[in-house]
């Protein structure tokens, strides 16, 4: 199956972000112990792995903007809205469980990971009978 030009660009950009994330994660973990007391550098290194993840959000946004097929674009928008709604709902419920000491945030907890997982769920919901 051949990819449409917007999907091809999306795939290339996504791979670029994932490779950048892997490299940033390795670099940050290796270099952080040496610079942990040098505050600006420590902040920079801590933020470094987050930047490619932010990049993925931009890549998904670009896919929506660049998709020429209006029906497919509507499905992508629907998918991201469902994913965002599910993520916010789960995060809000979880936050209240934490507020009442009934739960805690897991180690390495990342809202982006939850959103990406919900994006997968939303793909099935949005494209159900589409």
Residues that bind other proteins (CB under 8 A): 4, 68-72, 74, 129-130
Please name which of 60, 26, 61 lies closest in space to residue 45, comparing C-alpha atoms. 26
Quote the least distance from Cβ 11 to other proteins, whole Å.
Answer: 17
If the CB atoms of residues 62 and 78 are measured against other proteins, the closer one turns out to be 78
User: Does residue 129 come out as left (phi exceeding 0), alpha (psi in the -120 to 50 range) or beta?
Assistant: left
Quickly count: other Cβ atoms within 10 Å of residue 56's Cβ. 20
Residues in contact with 109: Cβ distance below 8 Å, sequence separation at least 6, in sequence order: none
With residue 99 as reference, give the H or E element that holds it. helix 70-99
Quote the least distance from Cβ 128 to other proteins, whole Å.
Answer: 11
If the CB atoms of residues 36 and 127 are measured against other proteins, the closer one turns out to be 127
Quote the least distance from Cβ 104 to other proteins, whole Å.
Answer: 43
If the CB atoms of residues 80 and 87 are measured against other proteins, the closer one turns out to be 80
Quote the least distance from Cβ 60 to other proteins, whole Å.
Answer: 19
């Amino acid at each position: 199956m051949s990819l449409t030009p917007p999907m091809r660009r999306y795939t290339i950009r996504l791979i670029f972000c994932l490779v950048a994330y892997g490299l940033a994660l390795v670099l940050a973990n290796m270099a952080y112990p040496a610079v942990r007391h040098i505050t600006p550098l420590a902040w920079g290194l801590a933020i470094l792995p987050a930047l490619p993840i932010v990049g993925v959000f931009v890549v998904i946004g670009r896919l929506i903007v660049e998709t020429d097929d209006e029906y497919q674009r509507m499905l992508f928008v629907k998918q991201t809205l469902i994913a965002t709604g599910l993520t916010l709902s789960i995060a809000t419920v979880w936050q209240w469980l934490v507020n009442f000491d009934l739960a805690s945030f897991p180690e390495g907890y990342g809202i982006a990971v939850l959103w990406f997982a919900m994006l997968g769920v939303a793909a099935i919901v949005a494209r159900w009978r589409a």
